[in-house]
Each structure stands twice: as C-alpha cells, then as structure tokens.
Structure 1
Amino acid sequence: MKRFLATLLSAACVITGWWTTHAQAGIGPASTIRIGVSGPFTGGSGPLGESMRNGVRLAIDEINRVGGINGQLFELIERDDQASVPLGAKIADDFVQEKVTAVIGIVNTGVGLASIDAYQKASLPLLVAVSTGTMLTRKFAPPQAPENYIFRISPTVDLEARALASELKRRKIAAVSLLADTTPYGDAGALAFREECQLAGIALRSDERFKVGDTDMRKQVARARQSRGQALVAWGIGPELAVIARNKAAAGWTVPLLGSWTFSSRNFIDSAGPAGEGALMPQTFIQDMGSTTRNGFLLAYRRLFKTDLIASPMSAAQGYDGMHLLYRAIRQANSGDGRRIRAALENLESRYQGVITSYSKPFSASDHDAITLNMLWIGRVVDGRVDYSSKEDQLRDAVLRYKKP
C-alpha cells in the first residue's frame, strides 16, 4: 500500500508540474494549450497563409483526437498579418502579452524580420512554416545569442537558389535574366541567386526589379529578352509572377521560366493560365497521390476541408509537419516553458515520419533549419497543376529522406 501511494504521489507530482508550468504561461489545469498562428490569410499572399493555417489546423485536429497532452487539448490563436510589416510586429507583441505557449507561422520575410526580436526577447519559440528568408533563423544563432528561439521547417532562400542553379546546369543553360520584387524576400532571393550563378559559372545577363502590385512588366521583360538570356528567372509572389508569365508569352519569348517556390501557388497558376505552363520551381511537397504518407495527408485534408484543391500544397504540408514537431517538443518538455520547449526542439528524442520527409533530430543548438537540399524537388506546372519536372525526382521521392549535414 505504501509503494502504491508513493507511485500515485509521484504521478501526481509530474502532472502538477505540467499544470504549474502552464499556469505560469497562462494555461491552467482546465484550460487548453494555446498556440499562436500568424500569417497572411487575405491579400496577395493569402493562399500561402491560408494553406499553411489549414495544415496546422489538420495537425491540431489529429493531436486533439488522441487527447492532446495529459488530457489538455490544443487551441489555435489565429491572427491575420495581411503581409503587413507593422501589423506582423504588433501580432508578435500581442502573442507575447497573451502568453501563448509557442507560435507557428510567418509567410513573408519582411514580416518575419519585424517579428522575431519580440519572440527572442520573450524566450517564446517560433516555428517558421513558410518564409524562406535565410536571416530569420540565423540572426540569433550562436555566437550572436546564447539561445536561439527561432526555428524553421521551410527551405531557405539559399537552398532555393542552389536548386535553381543546379536545374539550369542540368539543362545546360549558361546565361539567364533575373526579375525580382523589391521586398526583403525578393532582395534575399536575388542576392542568393547571383551568388549561386557565380559559383555555377552561369552568366547573369540582366537584373531587373519590380514592385508588389505591379500589373505590367512588359518593359522589364523586353529588356531581359534583349539581354539574350537563355532562361528567365523570376522571384516574387504569385500575382506578380503571373504578370511576368503573361507578358513573356505575349512577347513571344519562349525560353524556360523558372523561379521561387511561389510559382506553385494557385494565384499564379490560375492567373497565368496557359502562359504559366512549364514554369519550374523548387518544392518540398508535390501533391501526388502515389505516396502512402502523402495519400493519408491528402485524404485527411479532403475530409476536414471538403476539397481536393489546396491553394499552396507546400505551405499546407509544412504547416502540418511543423505543428506535429512542435507538439512533440511540448510533450517531451512536459512543460509550457519556452526554454524547455526550445531545448526539446534542439534534441527531439522521437523520430517523426512527416509528409515532407522523415524527421530525425531535425534541429540542433547550432542549426535551426530542418530542410536540407536533398529534400527539394523541381516542380513543373503541367495542365494547371504542379507535377514533378522529371521521372527521376518522382522515383526518388518514394525513398525516405533524412537531414544531411
């Protein structure tokens, strides 16, 4: 009886410890584990943010169906940042004040750069699910700060640029023209692509910029064509990329069109129409029913959201995998304390077979980026959807991939 009472008391202490820590974070024994979700759910970047949020919602639905953690269910606190830098910064401050347990989201690099200081200062873990801005996870990486609270499950701009340069080399394209928007994402993409072109021995014949909201890029396209580039590389968000594709087609310029992963968004594919056919872009996830893991995710997505049409499949998959990793970290930490969750993310004990890849120690104290180059494919717009650009990639995608150092 004494041994039984001691065991019971020990178990009670563990649960009480969990509740006490959560009480300090605004979470009590009868409440939920609150996770902040921020992204653009409206506007030009809306399809990316909405798809990410749906991926997170799907993961939460699955987690809550099995009882959450110690009986506490998860609750999403959602905020639309509208791709606005000031609003994104305010949302970060609000999440800190509301004492959420962790945050997942961030689509636009500029919004991310304006937000991460608040999360870092408050020791509040942020898992970036969509933005590829390289500096987001590196600003507070050692030795810049003793602890880094910014993690990511999307590829970096550097990886995007490397994948594109590799594809250009594979196609024996030696000279290209570049168009990039004037946002921090476009700035970072243009810089990374220039560097990769130099390393790969690819000549950059022209380097043009455009603004978000521009509806006519005929002049930039004409100058790029005059530079005799063998391909056109464009970096930006879907609506402007669609303008470039239509202007290029109208000019009768038939060179390959490549660019940032956002070419896979529905607001590019639908707006570009036939002009977008054949566009190439890096992807972590391609909506293919041939994979058992992906098939399960896609069927679950259809069940919950009553549609097969995902506006940005890559964003949805990264949001889904990211939330499952965050759940595992909170469960392993057995705490709502940001420092313990950060430590758990840096040393996750359980492997997770996600939609994008198989995650085994995806993060470490010195590396907060889960995606490596071997996890990227080159997608191609075909008949109004994104498919693999090559049969080899499709076959390779059937093999489990792990993080490479």
Structure 2
Amino acid sequence: MKNRWYSSVFAVSALALGCVATGAWAQAAKPLRIGLIGPFTGPSSDFGLPMLNGAKLAVDEINAAGGYLGRMVELVVKDDTANPDVGLQKSQELMQEQVIATIGFCNTGVAMKSLDVFQNAKSPLIVPCATGTPITAKYPAAESYVFRNSARDAIQAPFVVNDIVSRGWTKVAVLADKTGYGEAGLQDVVKALAAKDLKPVYVGRFDLGVTDLQADLKAAQAAGANVIFSYTVGPEAAAIAKSRQAIGWKVPQVGAWPLSFPLFIDGARDASEGALMAQTFIAEPSNERKMSFLSAYGRKFSSKKIAVPMAAAQGYDSVYLLSYALLSIRNGDMSGPSVKAALENIPRVYYGVTATHEKPFSKDDKEAISSNMLVMGMVKNGAVTFAYAEDRSRNLIVQRKQSAH
C-alpha cells in the first residue's frame, strides 16, 4: 500500500516538474545523499542498529518507487559509538560529504555536542531517537535547523508521572545517571511532579558503568518511596532493578522508553518484570500499518524480533518525513535553507507507523511527536506489551499530532 501510494505521488510530482530546468535534470543520475549518524557499535548499539535498519528499509522502498525524481537516495552512514567526541568528528565529516540533510542521534549527550555543526552549516538534522528536552531548545525555533521525530522527555516525564499518580504511587524516588540525558530527564521529572504538588522523596545520581545501587535503593526505601523512576539507558537501568531485587524491595520501576531496551530487559531478567515505560510504538500488529512495517522489516533483516522497535519505527518514519518534504521542492534547490523550509511546510499527510503526520513541523515547532501519541508499555514475560487493554484498542487508530502539546 505505501509503495503504491508513494509511487503515485512520485509520478504526479514528476509530471508537475516536467518543465524544470535542464540543469536540474542533468543531475538526475547523481544520488541524493542523506546523512545517517548514530551508535552502531558500542554500548548504545541495541537501539542504534534498529534505527539504522528502519532508515534503510524506508530508503529501499523509496528507491524501489523511483527515488526523488529519478535520483536514487543514498545514505551516508557514520557511527558515533555513543561517544560525544566521536559524534562531533563524524558530524563534521558529514558536512564534507555534501549531504542535503541528516537523520541522527540516539544519545542526548552526543547530539548536544554536535548540534552547532548542523546549525552553523545550515544543514537540517532530524533526530529520530534522542529524547533530551534541551536538543530542540538550544536555538530559537524559527531559526533552528534541528527537527525531532521522537518523544522528548518534556512530554514523556509528565505522561509517566500522570500514570503513576493515577495508580496512587506518589512517593517517588528518582535515580538518574550523570550524563546529559540523565540530568535533563531528572529535571523533567521534578517539573512534572511539581505540577502535581509533589516532590521526589529521594534523588540518587550515579556514573555510567555502575553495577550495584543497593545503597541508593536502601536510602530510597528508608525515605518511604513507593515507586522508582529511573532515568538512564540500558545496563544501569538493569542495575537498579537487580539491586532492588537484591534487597527484597517489591516496588515498581517506571521510566522513559529505555526501559524497553534489551540491555534492561535481558540484563535484569525477572527483575524487569512489570516495569512501565512511555512508548510511541509497541511491536504488536494492532493496526494495518504496524503489520506492514513489522512484516517488511522481518523480511529484509531476517528478524523475528526487533531489539528496540520504537527506534526502528521512528528511523523509518523520519526518512519518509524528509522524503515528503523533498517532494514539495519544485525548483531542484536542495540547499539547507530550502530543505528546512520544505520540512516546515510538508504539504501532504504522511500515514506513518508511529503516527499520522499532518503538518508535523512548522517554523515555530520542530517536534513531530505530541503526548497523545504515547502509550504506556509494560514488560511482561521478557517483552514489551500494552500496559492497558484500552491502549491496545486505541492503537487501532493511529494518532495525529495535537496542536498544543
């Protein structure tokens, strides 16, 4: 269905551009280069690789339908290894590779160190995974070349806080790592709790690599906490779960989307059971678009299970959002300001995997995801499923962005 629809859009656009300048058509054989940067090796590869694969799947589909006016789309892939210094170097390399835009970053700290590279070069960046609120707040929205197609922590944290308060879990202990991601997430949780006239009963901070957090958990227990809100990625989230289990403390662990990662679920094993987290995409065939995407991904990568489905789906949708923007460029101008303006004025609705995107971006809004697109996921038997049956039913209809979020 998607391939046929994209092909018809391509055909109509090609006819509309029948009188385009000869010079532009002379470039037809030259690939359209799009940057892709993320952690494809190293500690964050568990969600970097699915993001990469989702983007590759979208590019394959677009090229099979004719690409952009006969020009094939080519991904220029850079591995940032989840290291901010490496990310900066690779971002600078991308600017030398003549990419028209870049899709990238899974880690907030890595993204933050590289944002100036894209902004100064006036080269659009679409962030498909990293969720730190500061990423899209660094520059005034109207001037910013930084777009995002993931749920920023400023909406994830309130979403989870609303859920736990509705369950009566109001004595919250927050355990956050000392990275840029952990710091920004902690501030978002504190702000979300304050909106409910609540404060954390305990706050614990830790360095990446920690394996035992029993001391923090005992302190949180002594403070009367009845829920643990963790803000970290992967192994450290598992360390929290295992430390809680080790002291025999049966309280729920909640958090943002990293609690859906294999490094948490597989690392914590049965200690991860029941953990709750915000999600934009749960890998269950609850609607036709999900079924199509999961089937296509499985065929292309010979995979029965996606390590981090959200990363794959958002990487896939990010490529399509960019392609829809490019189709509105009528004069062949692929300069950064032209692509930025096209992203801010996408004319057609993109029926995506994670959302129905109708005007996902604007000059004053660089966030494609709004809070109504989130659902609560839960770890059950080593996999992520819907925490609420009504969310599974609601997911039959793919959500559209709210005008205020």
CA distance in 2, matches of 1:172, 1:213: 32
Where 1:204 maps in the other structure, the secondary structure is coil
Q: Deviations over 1:100-138 (max 9, x none)?
A: 111001111111111111111111110000001112112
Q: Distance in 1 between matches of 2:312 and 2:18?
A: 38
Whether the 8 Å contact between 2:123 and 2:145 is mirrored in structure 1 is: yes
Distance (whole Å) between structure 1 residues aligned to residue 198 and residue 250 of structure 2: 19
Give 1:190-229 correspondences, 5 Å limit. 190-229=186-225
Distance 1:325 1:11, change over 3 A: closer
| TM alignment of 1:154-303, pairs within 5 A | 154-303=150-299
- Does residue 316 of the first structure (1) align with residue 324 of the second (2)? no
**Structure 1 residue aligned with 2:379:** 381
Q: Contact 2:190/2:199 (CA < 8 Å) preserved in 1?
A: no
Q: Secondary structure at the match of 1:52?
A: helix
Contact 2:149 2:318 in 1 (8 A): yes
* Cα gap change, 1:17 to 1:401, in 2 (>3 Å): farther
Distance 2:149 2:121 in 1: 21
Q: How far has the Cα of 1:30 moved from its partner?
A: 2.2
Q: Distance in 1 between matches of 2:258 and 2:299?
A: 26
| Residues 172-219 of structure 1: CA deviation (Å, up to 9, x unaligned) | 112111100000000000001001111113331100011111111111
Partner of 1:4: none
1:48 aligns with 2:47: yes
| Runs of 5+ unmatched residues, structure 2 | 1-15
Answer whether contact 1:52 1:316 (CA < 8 A) is retained.
Answer: yes
- The partner residue of 1:364 within 339, 362, 368 is 362
SS at 2:70 equivalent: coil
CA RMSD after TM alignment? 1.7
Q: Identify the residue that residue 123 of structure 1 maps to in structure 2.
A: 122
Alpha-carbon distance in 2 for matches of 1:292, 1:340: 34
Query: Which residue matches 2:302?
Result: 306
Which secondary structure does the structure 2 equivalent of 1:200 belong to? Answer: coil
Partner of 2:399: 401
1:42 is displaced (CA, Å) by 1.5
- 1:296 Cα shift? 0.3
Match of 1:3 in 2: none
- Pair 173,69 (structure 1): closer, same or farther in 2 beyond 3 Å: same
Q: Is this contact kept in 2: 1:109–1:133, CA < 8 A?
A: yes
The residue that corresponds to 2:96 in the other structure is 97
Distance 1:164 1:11 in 2: 47
**What residue number does 1:338 align with?**
336
| Structure 1: gaps (5+ residues) | 1-9, 21-27
The SS at the match of 1:203 is coil
TM-superposition CA deviations, 1:144-173 (whole Å, max 9, x none): xx5221100001111111111111111011
User: Separation in 2 of the partners of 1:347 and 1:270?
Assistant: 42
Match of 2:388 in 1: 390
Aligned residues: 388
Structure 1 letter corresponding to 2:355:
T
Distance 2:341 2:175 in 1: 40
Q: Is the 8 A contact 2:28 2:69 kept in 1?
A: no
SS in 2 for 1:348: coil
Contact 1:221 1:248 in 2 (8 A): yes
**Distance in 2 between the 1:138 and 1:189 partners?**
14
CA contact (8 A) 1:173 1:202 kept: no
Cα distance in 1 between the residues matched to 2:317 and 2:104 = 12
Looking at structure 2, the residues matched to 204 and 147 of structure 1 have their Cα atoms a distance apart, in angstroms, of 36
Q: Report the residue type matching 2:210 in the other structure.
A: D
Aligned equivalents of 1:341 and 1:17: distance in 2?
19
Whole-Å separation in 2 of the counterparts to 1:330 and 1:18? 14
- Once the two structures are superposed, residues 62-86 of structure 1 have per-residue CA deviations (whole angstroms, 9 ceiling, x without a partner) of 1011010111111111111011111
Q: Using the alignment, how far apart are the partners of 1:262 and 1:72 within structure 2?
A: 37
TM-score by length of 1: 0.93
Q: Measure, in 1, the Cα distance between the counterparts of 2:222 and 2:43.
A: 30
Q: Deviations over 1:268-319 (max 9, x none)?
A: 1111110000000000000111311100000000010001211110111100
Distance verdict in 2 for CA 1:30–1:268, change over 3 Å: same
Runs of 4+ in 1 over 4 A off after TM superposition: 10-13
CA distance in 1, matches of 2:97, 2:214: 47
The one-letter code of the counterpart of 1:256 is P
Per-residue Cα deviation, 1:314-353 (whole angstroms, up to 9, x for no partner): 1111000011001111121243211111111111100010
What is the percentage of aligned positions where both structures have the same residue? 39
Matched, 1:14 2:20: yes
